[in-house]
Amino acid sequence: MTVRREELLRVHRMPSDCIFKLTLTIDADRITFTEFYDYGPRGDDPGREYGYSVHAPYDALDQLADVYAPGTEGPAADRLVRAFNHLITEGVLGDGRGLKINQTKVFEGFEAAGVEPTTSVWSWINSD
């Protein structure tokens, strides 16, 4: 299986010069939703990145697609991506929320779907 990475939302936040993204990645091992912040260098701050993810095992794909997109047609991955895009359109997920709010909503949604999700936090600080 090839890795499918969908950028669901990308916003350039000013004046903090932050690129905010929501992504959904589906690979042979797992399904990962990520809330990501990329702060560019500014003055004496060399820049930093933060990612807050929710993971589910790949074998939960059909179950998640059925819960998030009931009654829809097509491959489970396509249905799940469309469902997440719909959540953004409806304002359930998106920009302008507090830190890790999108991660929390997806975690709760995966749990409600009967999937046992895990979370992870990733950070990078430019040391130049």
Domain ranges in the chain are 4-125
Write down the pLDDT at residue 127. 65
Q: What is the distance between the alpha carbons of residues 33 and 28, in angstroms, rounded to a whole number?
A: 15
Q: What is the pLDDT of residues 15-74, one digit of tens each?
A: 888 999 999 999 999 999 999 999 988 777 778 899 999 999 999 999 999 999 999 999
Q: What is the pLDDT of residues 65-98, one digit of tens each?
A: 999 999 999 999 999 999 999 999 999 999 999 8
- In this structure, what are the phi and psi dihedrals at residue 43, rounded to the nearest 5 degrees? 55, -125
Write down the pLDDT at residue 125. 79
Q: For residues 102-119, give the mean pLDDT.
A: 97
The helix or strand, by DSSP H or E, that contains position 15, with its residue range, turns out to be none
Task: Transcribe 90-119 into DSSP letters.
Answer: TTSS-SS--TTHHHHHHHHHHHHTT---EE
Q: Mean pLDDT in the chain?
A: 93
Distance between first and last Cα of the chain: 37
Write down the pLDDT at residue 41. 81
